Amino acid sequence: MKFPPETANAVEQTTGFPDYTPNLARVEEADQVRKRWLQADFAELLKSAPWDTMFEDRVRQLLLHRPADLNAKIQDGLSRLVKFMSENRKAFWYVGHWFFVNHGLDVSSNQLHRDRKRDCDYAKKHYKRLIDELVCFWVIMDPSHVDDSGNRITLQSQLELVDRAEPARAQWNYCDSDEARTQHLSQVLKDRLLDETERGQYNVSDDFP
């Protein structure tokens, strides 16, 4: 594994998001990643549309702001942001779970590679980036890994494990508390958290309550 290079032109990952990735420049590491591409397993996982689950389980209430303190432009912007997230939920999920596709293996793998690129390119083209965000690489377990019962660990189980270990990948859906969702924030922002009795009263968007 390698971390983003420390050079003058390096782009740092957004705070709170995983910033490691396989070092594909090393032949032996690239070969290991390539061997872990199991097209049929990924096709089955993607049929479950995990991006729909991610969006439906999203944080729906404001934690740091009261609507009365936000002007009309900001409130409208929040609604447009959630609408964009809804329309591009698959791209958001892909970026948070960026897996290696051995697109030269077969037609299905190549089609998935092309479809993912199309979805992510569209989302990237149509939003204004306010903060730097690199993809969060999802390192798939070697097929030799098994659970306590000796069964191979499914991709669905791996997905749940990685989302719980690194909750930013799925927009902090797996966090058990607001404090866990905001632990990566600066103390200045943490001090602005709404009182527990007030949280849950204000929707991020009334169009998507």
> Does residue 53 lie in a domain region?
yes
> Does residue 3 lie in a domain region?
no
Domain tally, the chain: 1
Domain span including residue 50: 29-200
- Contact indicator for 65, 172 with CB cutoff of 8 Å: no
Calpha distance 64→52 (Å, rounded): 25
> Does residue 154 lie in a domain region?
yes
> Does residue 19 lie in a domain region?
no
> Does residue 142 lie in a domain region?
yes
Calpha distance 154→158 (Å, rounded): 6
Name beta bridge partners: 173.
none
Question: Exposure of 171 by Cβ count < 10 A (0-12 exposed, 13-18 middle, 19+ buried)?
Answer: buried
Q: Express each pLDDT in 71-110 by its tens digit.
A: 999 999 999 999 999 999 999 999 999 999 999 999 999 9
> Does residue 130 lie in a domain region?
yes
Q: Express each pLDDT in 159-180 by its tens digit.
A: 999 999 999 999 888 888 888 8
> Does residue 2 lie in a domain region?
no
**CA 183, 132, 109 angle in degrees (round to 5)?**
100
pTM of the shown model: 0.86
> Does residue 120 lie in a domain region?
yes
